Each structure stands twice: as structure tokens, then as C-alpha cells.
Chains A and B, each alone.
Chain A
Amino acid sequence: MGGGRVTERYRGLIGSAVVIALLGLWQLVSVTTAAGRLSSSPVAVFLAVPEVLRDGLALQSLYSLQAFVVGMIAAIAAGVLLGLFLGSMRVLTYLLEPSLMAFYITPTIALLPLVVIWLGVGNTSTAFIVFLSAVFPIVINTIAGMRQSDPAWSRTIRAFGGGRLLTFCLADVPGALPEIVLGIRLGIGRGLIGIIVAEMYASSRGLGFLLDTYSRAYRISDLCVVVFAIGIVGFAMVQGVRLFEDRTARWRAS
């Protein structure tokens, strides 16, 4: 670790310097070598933004977002409710957790061809894939959270004469909250993969379809614009949930 001490103060500075340096390197490589044809460049990507906007980036985003939100809300509602229900009864947990775990481990995106057979090409399929991708991390983590919740809380509530319902509402659910939020964050990550792949495979609209179109036409700068747009939105979503997660974890620790 020798040499000059690098303090927290420089975190942002060093981080952004590296990002700028990498962008510079990318620009340099693409200008000076033949690889530039296949890798675009930061300037070219920036200049391609108006073109992609004209191609309907906003409309396609809305279309993707709609399917994503529908699938995600369904996954959160079903996942949390099922998780709380299963997690509150030991027998049910034992009975169904291994099966749910199997789905959690499998890349559910592999169900895509079947889902297309069941629901056809389009928005229903993509929303359903988002649901399938996101629901298992949420269920599994909710169940795990129920197990984590502090037994002292429920004992306290019982000692003060609280019933089972009260214990569930005041101890089990809040106790599991950090894991529930963690599950939702993992679910969002998987749901994003789900929506993009589903649209690439089985849709004629949305951001995944736009990606597919650009890549088939070798419009690499345009492709990069879409990649960055999706990246930034995904990053913002996941980090937003992470902030919320830190807050729930903090009050449990104290």
C-alpha cells in the first residue's frame, strides 16, 4: 500500500478520470486502427443519438418499460405474498423450497421458446418472461428473510399478549424486509435481462428489438446508443433499490 495515501476525498476524481481515460482510449483505437469500423467510437456514438431518437428510441423504451413494469409488479406481488405465506409455515417451506430453488438456479430465460409457444409473439410473452425471471429470486429471498427475522421480536410480542397475526405483521414481515428488498433488486436485474432477450427473440417492438435490428444492419454506433441507454436505466433502477435496501438494513442493525 506504500507511496502516497489515497484518501476517500479522491474517490470521485479517480473514478471519473479512469472512465474518461477509457473513453479516450476507445476513441484513439477506433480512429487509428481498422478495428474502428466494428467498434464505433465515443464521438460517433454521441453523434448517433439524434438518429436513434428519430428511430423512435423513446417510443420503443416506453413499450419495453410497459412490459417490464407489468411483469415486475406481478412478480413482486406474487413473490412477496407467496414467500410470506410459505415462510410462515415450516412444513410448507420444507415442502416447496427445493422446487422453487430449482427454478431459482435455472436460467428461466431458457423457458422463452416455450413461452412463445404458449402466449405467442409480443407484449404478453415479454411481460411473462420478466415475471418468470424476477419471481423466483423474490420468493426465495422472502422465505430466507422470514428465517432471518429476530426471534426476540416475536417473543416480545407474544409476551405482551399479541396473537399470531400481530406477530406476523409486526415481527416477521418487518424482520424479513431487508431480504425482500434484496430479492426485488436481484429480480429487477434478472427481469432486465429477461425483457431484452425476450424482445430480441420474440417481439417486433421494444428496445431488444431495436438492438436486434441495429446489429443485423451493422449499425454499431446506433447499437451502442441503445446499449448505453439501457445500461443507464438499469443502473439507475438497481442503485435506487440498493439505496432503499441500505436503509432497511440500517434500521434492523440498530
Chain B
Amino acid sequence: MARVVKVLRLDGPFVLGTLGLIGIVALWQVLVWTGAINPFIASSPERVVREFGVLWSSGQLTSALGASGIEFAVALGLSLAVGCIAGVAMYASTAVEFAFDPIVWFVYSAPIVTLYPLLIIWFGLGRPAAIATGFLLGVVPIVVNTRAGLQSTDRHLLRAVRSFGASERFALLHVVVPHSLPLIVAGVRLAVGRVMIGVVVGEMFGANQGFGYLIAYYGSVVKATDVMVALCTLVVAGIAITQTVWLFEQWCGRWRVRA
């Protein structure tokens, strides 16, 4: 109960944040009404809501959600699988770490979208190229954070359980994994954003479904309102996914003692 009151406090982050969001939308609408911005190229909240209904009932949004959702899920799933295995391998063996460190950092820092034209040539337009771009962008933060998480395990804790006779398995399950999980999940959260960029960019060029396609298509026929509808849906989906991962991250770190 006390938590509910805290969330609903008038000067709390939740209420004020919602107010801020409403304020921005209202400002947008007012600017359109007063004629300060042209609704033809900047749309307006009113038009977006109306057009949202149209696009939703025509099935375009649901099919885009389905198409982009599958690409996103496959790219993130691949990033998770490859990223975790590579991260564990780099943690477990110094030789593996030294071997792949330069490549990992290069892929992390260099703008990987430059590979996109090559990916199109190799995998074909549309879905495969979008998945490959999302994967390449998403895998590196997971590798880096998995390794960093495992390496950050408190040595004293490890030595403590070992001196009490714990097996390697016990130490792994009860010390290393709980200790590193929050950082690993933080890597996944970073990856979510990057995979989304990859998938959307992949769909903007040459796909025939998904949010990137909707946005590029409606942009090319100068229908700003429809672009905004697709964008807003994408934003809501992005926030939902990121917040879910963030909640999981908090849950993984719940054993931590608050300082």
C-alpha cells in the first residue's frame, strides 16, 4: 500500500513524468491549431489517433508488429545464444579472450550498418538482411557484458564459499551466476535497442513488411501522419520491451544489499 501511495504522489516521478508526456503532446496539438507548424508535414496528435484506428483496423499495424516482431525475436535470440557462449568462453579461457578481444572491440565501435549493403548481397533483400543486421548490432553488448559480469564476481565471496568446502558447481550456481546476472541482463537491455535499430534499418531498404517498411513507404508518399502512427507504435513497443528487461534486471539484482 505504501508503495502505491509513493508511486501516485503528486510530485513523484510517475505522475510528473506522465504530465510531461501529456504536456508535450498538448504542445504539439496547440502548435498545429495555431498554425505554427504545418500538419501536412508534421501531423498532429488528433490526426495520429484517428489514423491509428484506420491502420489498426486495416491490419497493417498488426502485420507489421508480427513481421518486425519475428525478425526482432530471431535476431535477439541469436545474439543471446552466440553472445552468452562467446562471453563465457572469453571468461573461461584467457587465450580465447586475447584471441577475440580486438575483433569484439572493433565490431562494437565501428558502425556495423556499413555492412548492410554486403548483407543484402549475401542474404538477399528484406527479412534475412534485417535479421543479420540486428544480430551483428545486438551480439556485441551481450558478449562484452557477459564477460564483464562474470569477471566482476567478488573474489572474497568465491574464496569464502570455497574455504567452506563448496564445490566448483556450487560456487558457480550460487556465487558467480547471481553475481553476474544483473550485468548480463543490462547487456541484453543495450542489445534490445541496437537490435531494434538493425531491424528497422534493415526493413527501411527493400523489405516489403515490418515497421521499417511502413515508415519508409509512407515517408516516400509524404503521409506524415501514417509515418507518425508507425513510429509511435514502435516507440510503445520499444518501451514495453525495454521496461520488461529492466524489471527482470532489477529482479536479478534483488539480492544486493542497499547501501
Contacts and interface: CB of A to CB of B under 8 A. Distances in A.
Interface in B85-124: 92-95, 98-103, 105-106, 108-118, 120-122
Contacts of B114: 196, 211, 226-227, 230-231
B201 A102 contact: no
Interface stretch (A6-14, A26-34, A74-82, A163-171): A6-14
A122 interface: no
B59 interface: no
Interface residues on B, range: 35 or more
Contacts of B16: 91, 94-95
A245 interface: no
A231 B242 contact: no
Nearest to A2: B93
Given A99-B20, A114-B224, A18 B99 contact: yes
Nearest to A227: B114
B235 interface: yes
Nearest to B201: A197
A16 interface: yes
A173 interface: no
A1 interface: yes
Contacts of B211: 110
Given A227-B118, A234-B111, A109 B197 contact: yes
Contacts of B205: 200-201
Interface string B216-234: 1011101010011011001
A49 interface: no
Interface string B189-217: 00001001100110011000001100110
A191 B24 CA distance: 25
Given A105-B242, A230-B114, A110 B121 contact: no
A102 B118 contact: no
Contact of A224 (B101, B118, B234): B118
Interface of A: 1, 5-7, 10-11, 14-19, 22, 38-39, 91, 93-99, 101-102, 105-107, 109-114, 116-118, 189-190, 192-193, 196-197, 200-201, 211-212, 214-215, 218, 220, 223-224, 226-227, 230-232, 234-235, 237-239
25 contacts: A1-B94, A11-B98, A15-B102, A94-B16, A95-B19, A99-B20, A106-B235, A107-B193, A110-B231, A113-B218, A114-B224, A117-B41, A117-B224, A189-B109, A196-B113, A201-B216, A212-B117, A215-B121, A220-B121, A223-B117, A230-B110, A230-B114, A231-B110, A237-B109, A238-B109
